[in-house]
Amino acid sequence: MAGNFVDVATIWLHAGKGGDGAVSFHREKFVAAGGPDGGDGGRGADIMFQADDNLSTLMDFRYKRKYTAENGQNGGGKNCTGRKADPMIIRVPRGTVVKDAETGQIIADISGDEPVVIAKGGRGGWGNLHFATPTRQIPKFAKPGMPGESLHVTLELKVIADVGLIGFPNVGKSTLISAISAAKPKIANYHFTTLSPVLGVVAVGPEASFVAADIPGLIEGASEGVGLGHDFLRHVERCRLLLHVVDVSASECRDPKEDFEKINHELKNFSAQLSQRPQIVLGNKCDIATPEQIQEFREYIEGQGLTFLPISAATRQGLDELPGLVYQRLKDLPPVQVFEPTYVKPQPEQNSRAFKVEKLEDHVFSVDAPWLERILAGSDVEDYESLQYFQIQLSESGILDKLVEMGVEEEDTIIIGEYQFDYVF
């Protein structure tokens, strides 16, 4: 575990339900019978995510996992529309990627400054004003609001940096980033030093700089020479250039060539694309290395077509030229990667008035049709015109024909959601 650093979290989002439409009639002194004036319900609240540079982990989402937005206000009389609910804004560290928890598809990459809608609030229901016709002048029903979107999402923090420092623990990455930037990572002489990515801005000139990240190395099993922890490799994914730091002095009795190969093997196992990312290899601790060690490693690295720079983060040897070298290389590379959405929202069935009829037992039928239940919820079942409107929906949708086909008889029981009716020819 990486201390209190949390870079993955799974949460549930429930956008607000739309407000219900109102059943209301115009009342005015000396006017015998006013018409319908029920207003529409307000839209439910969206759930939006916004980048916050004051946050660096997803720790808050370990303790709160369910987010429910406000419902829209119900409609009122005098054609008053219910108030639209204000959006719920969830703040996350910049670089958080929101994925569908079931499919792993990317919903959004929260890397910009503008808030991003992740779950949309439901539409408000129509008031009875909408249902007035020349033959139905007193509609005593309205539409309920639609439910908001519900999503089960995984949040993954992928640090945003131009340059990523990679390599085994204790090779001097933390010392290096503190030497070339204002970052102040904890530095200690053991294998469990950096437990979370550390970002630093490296100034090259008056208006020239880049962002570097000290990417955590081995966390568990470091003393056994296990490769880079995959839990942390996601933070290298955005980096345009990798600074591969190797202890060229072999001060910990490890072969620098083997270290270099093991780290690259881990990169390749995690992502073939990541293994192709440009690298500059930094031979650190050259102040305590022999000239033969440095030369042998230089020939090995340059033989692979890579740039090699001997440095000493502790004595600042070679560090003056490093920022300029990195900045010039970055000029030729594409900008920081932003992950494009791949999520496809489940589409409603082509027939939005889909239904399923089952015969539960003799003389008892069940109709499964959520859209019809919503109509029922907004109807006055004691009112003739409401029931007439409901009957039209039954007929036009094909439900009545299906019941007849399945042998329904007069006074059989029809169950629709929480409602029961007797079938009448």
- What is the per-residue DSSP string for 127-189? PGGGG--SS--S----PPPPPPPEEEEEEEE----SEEEES-TTSSHHHHHHHHSS------S
Domain end, chosen from 157, 172, 199, is at: 157
Least confident of 150-164, 185-199, 237-251, 287-301: 185-199
Q: What is the pLDDT of residue 352?
A: 65
Q: What is the pLDDT of residue 139?
A: 77
Which of 157, 180, 200 is at the close of a domain? 157
In this predicted structure, the answer to whether residue 412 has a pLDDT above a threshold of 90 is: no
In a domain, 337, yes or no: no
Domains held by the chain: number: 3
Both 23 and 141 in a single domain?
yes
Q: Tell whether 231 and 377 lie within a shared domain.
A: no
- Among 331, 364, 391, identify where a domain stops: 331
What is this structure's pTM? 0.72
Query: What CATH number is associated with residue 203?
Result: 3.40.50.300
So what's the pLDDT on residue 203? Answer: 86
If asked whether residues 182 and 251 sit together in one domain, one would say: yes
Minimal CA–CA distance to 6: which of 337, 231, 236, 227?
Answer: 231
pLDDT digits (tens, 9 = 90+) for 391-411: 788 888 888 889 989 998 888
Mean pLDDT throughout 294-319? 93
Give the integer Cα–Cα distance in Å for 148 and 151. 10
The strand pairing partners of 358, in sequence order, are: 366
**DSSP letter, residue 357:** E
Q: Pick from 126, 111, 48, 110: which is nearest to 85 by CA?
A: 48
Q: What is the pLDDT of residue 182?
A: 65
Higher pLDDT, 133 or 186: 133
Q: In this predicted structure, what is the pLDDT of residue 135?
A: 66
| One domain for residues 258 and 240 | yes
Please tell me which residue, 156 or 190, carries the higher pLDDT value.
156
**pLDDT digits over 142-159, tens only?**
778 888 999 999 999 888
- For the chain, what is the mean pLDDT? 83
Q: Which of 53-62, 84-93, 350-359 has the lowest mean pLDDT?
A: 350-359
Q: Does the residue 350 lie in any domain?
A: no
**pLDDT (tens digit, 9 = 90+) per residue, 330-378?**
999 998 888 899 998 876 554 567 888 888 778 888 888 877 877 777 6
Which pLDDT belongs to residue 220? 35
pLDDT at 274: 79
Q: What is the pLDDT of residue 242?
A: 93
- Indicate whether 3 pLDDT > 50: no
* Residue 89 pLDDT > 50: yes
Q: Which residue has the tokens 């959004």?
A: 108
- Residue range 273-293: average pLDDT? 91
CATH number (domain holding residue 404): 3.30.300.350
Answer yes or no: do 286 and 385 share one domain. no
Of 325, 314, 287, 284, the closest CA to residue 301 belongs to: 284
Q: Are residues 61 and 31 in the same domain?
A: yes
Res 281 pLDDT > 90: yes
